[in-house]
Amino acid sequence: MTTSDAPGSPADPAHLLPSLEPVRLIDPDGTRAAPEAGAGFALPEPAVLLALLRAMVVGRRFDRQADALARQGRLAVYPSSHGQEACQVGGVLALAETDWLFPTYRDCVSLVTRGVDPVEVLTLLRGDWHSGYDPARHRCAPQCTPLATNASHAVGLTYAARRKGEDVAALVLMGDGATSEGDAHEAYNFAAVWNTPVVFLVQNNQWAISVPLRRQSAAPTLAHKAVGYGMRGYHVDGNDAAAVHAVVSRALAEARAGAGPALVEARTYRIDPHTNSDDPRRYRDDSEVDHWRRRDPVARLEALLRREGRLDDAGHRAMVDAADRLAISVRERIARLGGPRPEELFDHVYAAPTAPLRGQREEVRAWAEARRAARAGAPAADTGEEV
């Protein structure tokens, strides 16, 4: 055997391949999984497990509140992540304070977990500004809506940071549908060629809106795509917060140490519709949803902590109360917000707006003012338009 043929060498990609079975540390019934299911990963310390559960309880309550706000018409749209909490919480809590998060439109819970003001998180979904929070302050990029566009942004940021000598890694959140996009291919390729410290966490929730995974990929797992780019691939149970945290933590540590990027596939499920405007009964059976409800990530971790004496009723009540307080605050603050100001569209186009742009801005401002006045039942200025 020559040196280049040795296991682990660039000529032998075996070390890049993921396991066919997803890494699991906690079984769906809340018991510890058999050691072989963990594939060498260890259950995190009790303090980490409690933090994971606390963040999932808060995240789910926030998600339920945001979904209600969308149904009340206070949000333009809301893509729920109900059922995917373990992916978002497990991934984010593996990040260092100096790292960056690159979320998508479905990853509001990840932003709340990262410490972003929940009302600012919902700004995009109110139809207001693209990002309601300061990305630099929180080290969270704006939520991307076009699929996989956040992936190349993370590669560019970490490449630049490394050239500046900064110790920065990044976590990219993606859906299974995003892995079929050209943007994903470009990001995976450049990340591997440039050896950037990026971890791509693919939340495989089985459906790209109404397209099942089997109709968009024939790969053994999505994690197997990693080897084609020269990246490490990991396959994990996405409803097991402990396993997600353990796998992403290792992938980030390896990336920081110079081992390059990684692709982590977390198998999970979207319990709710794609958004509040979707009717999933047209493309999936209730029995499938029931199957995944029995694998609920929050109930799974709570059961383990209670069984092992790490959580009692008082401790759980404190988590629920904190989640309720956050939801009430979000509801009340959203109710006090006024509607978006359409004329703001023109505010940051040029340092010195052109005359045509100023005219267009005034036209939109007058239209918006007339519309608000009409809704309030007050006399409106004559704009010559029907409102």
* Given the residues 24, 61, 245, 270, the one annotated as active site: 270
Burial class (CB in 10 A: 0-12, 13-18, 19+), 230: middle
The answer for residues whose C-beta is within 8 angstroms of residue 331's C-beta and 6 or more apart is 65, 68, 69
380's tokens: 């409106």
DSSP 111-145: HHHHT--HHHHTTGGGTS-S-SS-HHHHTBPPPB-
Facing residues of 267 across strands? 204, 237
* Given the residues 224, 232, 274, 295, the one annotated as active site: 274
Q: Which helix (H) or strand (E) holds 372?
A: helix 355-376
- Is 333 marked active-site? no
76's tokens: 């333009």
Strands of 1-64, DSSP E: none
Residue indicated by tokens 């789910």:
60
- Is 130 marked active-site? no
- Is 274 marked active-site? yes
Amino acid letter for position 385: E
* Given the residues 15, 283, 293, 317, the one annotated as active site: 283
> 3-class DSSP state for residue 384?
coil
From the list 121, 138, 119, the residue with the least C-alpha distance to 331 is 119
- The residues annotated with a catalytic role in the active site are 270, 274, 283
